[in-house]
Amino acid sequence: MTALPVADAFSLTDALADTNRRLSALVDQLLPLPETPDRRVVEAMRYVMLNGGKRLRPFLVERTAALFKVDPEAALRVGLALEMIHCYSLAHDDLPAMDNDDFRRGKPSNHKVFGEATAVLAGDALLTFAPQLIIEKSTLPSQTTLHIVKEYCNAAGAYGLIAGQIVDIQSENQPTVDPSTLDFIQTHKTAVLFKLALRTGAIAAGASEDKIATMTDFGQKLGTAFQIADDILDETSTFEQMGKTLGKDKAQNKVTFVSLYGLDTARSQAQTLIDEAISALDMFGAKADNLRLLARYIIEREN
């Protein structure tokens, strides 16, 4: 088993790029283009999977698993499954029935290239292929694999990601939205996948319940800070930096941390959450420096 190197402030970008490169190679290996009539939907699946992105969630799986000395290749396969959930949600988010965005990561959205029906089916296919991948390609013990699949279903299903999406939609164009509703959206639509990445990395190692709880807390704070940072960038960044249409939340009268509290409070809260998240990792010492670096990157990024 080859251990992953510990990144420093100057090599975090290289470490993220390395995860991206290995993940893309795994997509090519496990999701090749078939010479069969269903080729079109696989093209759409590959398009959304290989259309850039930071690969933060697979990186978190890998680096959490590395804390507990899990085989990096086994962790990467679990990370790929989580990235499939993320990419499926992006393909569906961009649809006219949802956020209606023509661009993603600086390129035409999936439905603009393949049509709405194919984009829906490609998202559905990624959502269902991911647990199949965990089960069929796992080198982990069977009980551990089953635990990870259960975590996947909880996070991706009606009480996880989908719950966040439906409340987000219901909150559009409302005269007032309670802060608890915003917290529900942030927790279920964004933080849920960060928590899933960190929990599965720990579960893959058979970590103790207290350590899994620590990673869950870290993921909740990290994911919420990520969403607040995204809300800030939606107000302050450019299309060239973000690669997607900006200002849509305000145009659709969506509730965000910025719309409720303003930019200054949003920046302050994001920093507070990151500070708390980093403090939660004290029990791991220097071994968790990769996660600390990524936490700081979350709110310092420009896209």
* Interval 253-262: pLDDT, tens: 788 999 999 9
More confident residue, 190 or 235: 190
**Per-position DSSP letters for 92-132, written without gaps between them:** HHTSTTTT--SEETTEE-HHHHH-HHHHHHHHHHHHHHHHH
Q: Is 158 exposed, middle or buried (0-12, 13-18, 19+ CB in 10 A)?
A: exposed
Rg (CA), the chain: 18
Give the per-residue pLDDT at 70: 86
Give the per-residue pLDDT at 246: 65
Give CA–CA dist 172/249, Å, rounded. Answer: 9
Give CA–CA dist 248/250, Å, rounded. Answer: 5
Q: What residues form DSSP beta bridges with 108?
A: 103
Average pLDDT over all residues of the chain:
91
Least confident among 4-8, 18-22, 214-218, 296-300: 4-8
* pLDDT confidence tier of residue 3, bands split at 50, 70 and 90: low
Residue 228: name the closest of 199, 187, 193, 196 by CA: 187
More confident residue, 52 or 86: 86
Give CA–CA dist 181/168, Å, rounded. Answer: 9
Give the per-residue pLDDT at 8: 52
Q: What whole-number percentage of the chain has pLDDT above 90?
A: 76
Domains of the chain: 12-300 (1.10.600.10)
* pLDDT confidence tier of residue 240, bands split at 50, 70 and 90: low
Reply yes or no on whether the pLDDT at 10 is more than 50. Answer: no
* pLDDT confidence tier of residue 244, bands split at 50, 70 and 90: low
Give the per-residue pLDDT at 179: 92
* Interval 126-166: pLDDT, tens: 999 999 999 987 888 999 999 999 999 999 999 999 999 99
Both tokens of 226, joined, read 């990520």
More confident residue, 189 or 238: 189
Give CA–CA dist 158/160, Å, rounded. Answer: 6
* pLDDT confidence tier of residue 183, bands split at 50, 70 and 90: very high
Reply yes or no on whether the pLDDT at 104 is more than 80. Answer: yes
* Interval 211-237: pLDDT, tens: 999 999 999 999 999 999 999 998 887
Reply yes or no on whether the pLDDT at 247 is more than 70. Answer: no
